[in-house]
Amino acid sequence: MRTLISTSGVDPANRSVHWHSAIAQAYFPLDLHFREPDRFGGRLEEWLLGGVSLSRLRSEALSYHRHPHHLTCDEQEHLLITIPMKTEVFFSQSGREVYCKPGGYIIERSHEPYEFSYGERADLWVMKVEASALGGRIRSPDRFCGMQFTARGGISGLFVDMLHHIPQRFEAMNEEARAAVGLQLVDLLALSIHADERTLTSGGSSVRAAHLSRVEHFVRANLHRRELDPDLIARCCGISVRYLHELFRDTERTLGQWVRDLRIEAVKADLRAPGTKMSIAEICFRRGFGDVAHFSRLFKQQVGCSPGEYRRQMMLS
């Protein structure tokens, strides 16, 4: 589905209210501060790609504020990835401040208050994705909020190039293809973040974080292996089992819980993948679970519904 919202043709006295509604519909509720409300102009186009929303926002100078009272409205946490194309933007969240110029991008969390603004007419790409979708590909993506990433060259350039091509190709794609493209965007975003050397050093010492990142890459690439236990992980990553467990001491989960959660996230991605023909049992074994009944109980405990129910919900959404 494509949506277009514009202040063109809207009475100047009503434009601020109109734009408030447009922003809440595309992203989530925010307070907006207009420099010149009666002279404000904006255009917002949105394309839905399965569970991913892509939008292009053009507007006059504006300041957006996410306050604590806004947070009670949302159960599911989302991330906004904003890529300015024309003018510098300011972003502040969780004690971090960043001025992001064209050629970079920033990540914003819906579950924390923030301020976002630009002092001139702006042209922005904005990608909205569930935090859990990116979390299934990157450990603790929230640690990257308030940091500027490059949007040029290599995998990052490919990510941004793909955004530009979607509007021209959107109408020629069916729903299944659009959902597949949405998943590819999330994959490219994850690869772009991984390519930044700060992925290794954020959240701890560089040596410890580098080991943790190596473990993360190995585990994600080997979720299909039923024997993915601490001995195998430690041996293949060149560290001791004791040190492996030590790496996870200051994280929210034990090593075993983390591997289990990664498997569940991978299964969820398989279940909602457009056009998949795999049975639930095949997906179960593909992601390293050895017993379908045990896997189904664990999935329901984690997700709140059975794998079959989850697949049906995703097909209907």
Residues 132-157 pLDDT 10s: 888 777 767 777 888 899 898 888 99
pLDDT of 44: 97
3-state DSSP percent of the chain in helix, strand and coil, to 5 = 50, 20, 30
The helix/strand/coil state of 304 is coil
Residues 172-214 pLDDT 10s: 999 989 999 998 999 899 888 877 766 544 544 556 767 777 8
Spatial separation of the C-alpha atoms in residues 123 and 53, rounded to whole Å: 17
Q: In this structure, are residues 116 and 97 in contact, taking their beta carbons and an 8 Å threshold?
A: no
| Residue 191 vs residue 44, higher pLDDT | 44
Record the pTM. 0.71
User: What is the mean pLDDT of the segment spanning 19-26?
Assistant: 94
| Residue 248 vs residue 287, higher pLDDT | 287
pLDDT of 36: 85
pLDDT of 73: 67
Spatial separation of the C-alpha atoms in residues 313 and 317, rounded to whole Å: 6
* E strand segments, 9-113: 31-34, 42-49, 52-59, 62-66, 78-84, 89-93, 96-100, 104-109
Model confidence at 126, pLDDT cuts 50, 70, 90, reads very high
pLDDT of 251: 67
Torsion region of 50: left, alpha or beta (phi above 0 gives left; psi -120 to 50 gives alpha)? left
pLDDT of 132: 83
Residues 95-120 pLDDT 10s: 889 999 999 999 999 999 999 999 99
pLDDT of 125: 98
Which of 119-128, 160-169, 200-209 shows the lowest mean pLDDT across its residues? Answer: 200-209
Q: Which two tokens stand for residue 5?
A: 């919202």
